[in-house]
Amino acid sequence: MRAGLWGAGIIVSLLTISSLAAEKLIDVSAIVSKAEAEKILGEPVRNPTPLNVNGKDGHYSKCNYYGTKTVRSLLLRVRQASEGTVDPLTEFDQIASSGGKMKPIEGLGDKAGMFNGAPENGLPPNVIMLYVVKGRSFITIGIGGMADEAAALEKAKQVAQKVLAQL
């Protein structure tokens, strides 16, 4: 019996991996290097500790870059959802309706929006969070510590375009 359950676990894992095989699995740390993060944030950054994991809900990739001189940061996340899990559009809509004011962003993926550091959004000042859905992928890009919100959003959009180009 125990061997049968173990075998079933392997089959489930293989099905998860095979459902993602049609999509190229993303590694955000390979898309946005440390050197590029330094250009985006305008200062040196600490060495990141990227994470890439395959799980029941799909493939998850994350990487955080933190400035060494100020509180600037660049946070990158991509979840490539496997079939039968929460659809990225549903996830986006849940975040958008969680309170606050999400600003729609045109021209990125299937759907995109941004929260800023306004009090009603629950984020600190000088922080933006950009969310982008493309097919079965959900992208999150956060930039913190930049006083110019428009410039931070433009940088986040450029990063999103680089990630989207890899899907």
Tell me: the pLDDT tens digits for 84-142?
899 999 999 999 998 789 999 999 999 999 999 888 888 889 999 999 999 999 999 99
Q: E-strand spans in 82-134?
A: 103-104, 111-115, 127-134
Overall fold of domain 2-166: Protein Transport Mog1p; Chain A (3.40.1000)
CA separation (Å) from 26 to 65, 83, 85? 17, 17, 18
* Percent share of the chain, pLDDT over 90: 77
Could you state, in order of their start, the residue ranges of all structural domains in the chain? 2-166
Task: Give residue 23's pLDDT.
Answer: 64
What pTM was estimated for this model as a whole?
A: 0.85
CA separation (Å) from 133 to 87, 117, 138, 139, 143? 10, 21, 5, 6, 18
Each residue's pLDDT tens digit, 150-166: 999 999 999 999 999 99
